[in-house]
Amino acid sequence: MDRTQYTNLAKAWEFTEEHARERESDTLTDTRTATDESGQLQGSAAQARLLGMLVRITGAASVIAVGTGSLVETLQLAHALDNKGLLTAVDSTAQGIALIRKAFAELQDETDTTLRAVNAPASVFLPRLNANDYDLIVVAGDAENYAATFAQASRLLRAHGVIVFTDVLALEDGQGGVINPADRSDKAIAMRELLTTVEDDEGFESTLTPDGTGLLIAYKK
């Protein structure tokens, strides 16, 4: 690919993101604005829509969202469950879980989906869950969420279940992330290790996509 093609790819990403923002509901737009202003910056709108589409494509009925104030993505997952199933949101931060609990309280009267919000590290809470009980796991936020969740993924997911890792290129902190060898931040180091771990695991088939700030999607064989 030449420089023009790379430039066009960047423009295509920008167009796709703006298109997704325009299609967000007023509720999601207001949620994004409020959480961004509170310091809990939200991920890509196109990425959040893709996560919702994955719920629908896979027919997932039992979903875990592990994050750090990842409210917009969590709400997209809740809406995609379409009045059925269970969504468990796991956030180890006080501010993040408060945002999720407030949003779930407002949603509770509008949906038959069971909404569960848990304030605990993934490494502490996930081992307590029943095995082979979940269709989809989405991981975002702090670096420590990723390895801890993947360590439980094979046990938690049903056969042919899917785990999705967001911000795998570690671009959200603005230091260049995985694509910059000089970036030795905790997130960049963790994502480099995660890529190797997931891709080498014979129990999963995986692919890395450029959606959002990098999605790693792994399918349990």
pTM of the model: 0.94
Confidence category of residue 38, pLDDT binned at 50, 70, 90:
confident
In angstroms, the Cα distances linking 131 to 44, 158, 167 are 31, 8, 26
> For residue 118, what are the β-bridge partners?
90
Determine the Cα–Cα distance for residues 99 and 115; give it in Å rounded to an integer: 14
Q: Which residues contact 160 (CB under 8 A, 6 or more apart)?
A: 219, 220, 221
Taking only the tens place, the pLDDT of each residue in 94-148 is: 999 999 999 999 998 899 999 999 999 999 999 999 999 999 999 999 999 999 9
Average pLDDT over residues 54-61: 98
Short-list 142, 94, 87, CA closest to 117 = 87
Determine the Cα–Cα distance for residues 46 and 211; give it in Å rounded to an integer: 7
Report yes or no: 210 and 195 within 8 Å, Cβ to Cβ. Answer: no
Residue 176: burial class (beta carbons within 10 Å; 0-12, 13-18, 19+): middle
- What is the per-residue pLDDT for 109? 87
Confidence category of residue 5, pLDDT binned at 50, 70, 90:
confident
> 166: number of CA atoms within 13 Å, CB side?
26
Within its chain, how far is the Cα of 166 from the centroid?
5
Sorted by where each starts, the structural domains of the chain and their CATH numbers stand as 3-220 (3.40.50.150)
- What is the per-residue pLDDT for 98? 93
Taking only the tens place, the pLDDT of each residue in 143-187 is: 999 999 999 999 999 999 999 999 999 987 777 899 999 999 999
Tokens of residue 50, six digits? 């893709």
- What is the per-residue pLDDT for 37? 82
> 207: number of CA atoms within 13 Å, CB side?
4
